[in-house]
Amino acid sequence: MDEPISLFKYRTLSEKKDKERVKEIFEDQKVWFSSPKDFNDPFEFQFTPSSDATTYEKIEAYAHILKKRNSTLTNNAAIAEAGSTILSMGENGVKKWEQSRLANFKKILANTGIFSLAKHNNDILMWSHYADKHRGICIEFCPIRNGKLNKKLADFFCQALEVSYPDENDLPTINLYKCQTEELLRKSALTKARHWKYEGEWRILDRKGGPGKKSIPEGIISSVILGCQIEKKVREWVVDLISTYPTPVNVYETRIKPGYYEIEFRQI
């Protein structure tokens, strides 16, 4: 699939906290990375754990951990120490270690910050579900300026990874021995039930910084789209807020396309 040249953030403006978050985007150039517990789908970040591995693969996995703890260890020394440890654990000991590793994987996921974006700006379900029944806005993030890729903007934008929606609708399998942290994140945080495919979601993951406010590069916002049912007072507030942004932002309004279950845009 082609890489998107723009990604979009739908925002509701119905409550004070919603307006504060949007205000931070334009005035402070900060966005909110959510915690996994904040998502509305209980199937998010779930996976099927697997301990299917040969004895040597288990030893290799343990050796990898030992080398992370002590970078001076040679491969041979780490393998030797891991082999001795794994063999001395016995079956019950290995199972306890697997449970500990599984708990650590889940902890990593729970402490990851996620910034969700959408590939499309004209999906009427997205406008209904994430922009307060078309009363909110949709913000465009784009790294291209004057027809060229801006490196500063691209450094942030290109962190976004595409979410997959498997046809079989099965949870991703995470092997406790063969899967490393980055693969864990990509599989579990970037896989959703096929029912959500209409979202066309992309995500930026922050494992080290976790949830919370994060800075975005100045100028990455290129346009704002107003919902077709946005209230007049809110509309005026948004337009005034956009005027405070340090670089030019195009503003569009949506309307229901006559005769279709679609919306169309008009620049204002």
Segments making up each domain of the chain, as ranges: 7-44+113-267, 48-110
Both tokens assigned to 244? 């405070």
Contact 142, 119 (CB under 8 A): no
CB 193 within 8 A of CB 94: no
pLDDT at 4: 81
pLDDT tens digits along 6-47: 999 999 999 999 999 999 999 999 999 999 999 989 999 999
What global pTM score does this model have?
0.90
Report yes or no: 253 and 239 within 8 Å, Cβ to Cβ.
no
d(CA 13, CA 21): 9
Question: Crossing angle, helix 75-110 and helix 181-189, to 10 degrees?
Answer: 30
Q: CA 223 → CA 2, 24, 33, 97, 133, distances in Å? A: 22, 16, 21, 50, 20
φ/ψ of 167, rounded to 5, equals -60, -35
Given the DSSP bridges, would you call strands 30-33 and 212-215 parallel, antiparallel or unpaired?
A: antiparallel
C-alpha radius of gyration, the chain, whole number: 23
How does pLDDT run along the chain (268 residues), one tens digit per residue? 567 899 999 999 999 999 999 999 999 999 999 999 999 899 999 999 999 999 999 899 889 889 989 989 899 999 999 999 988 988 899 899 899 989 988 999 999 999 999 999 999 999 999 999 999 999 999 999 888 999 999 999 999 999 999 999 999 999 988 888 888 888 999 999 999 999 999 999 999 899 999 999 999 999 999 999 999 999 999 999 999 999 999 999 999 999 999 999 999 9
What's the pLDDT score for residue 8? Answer: 98
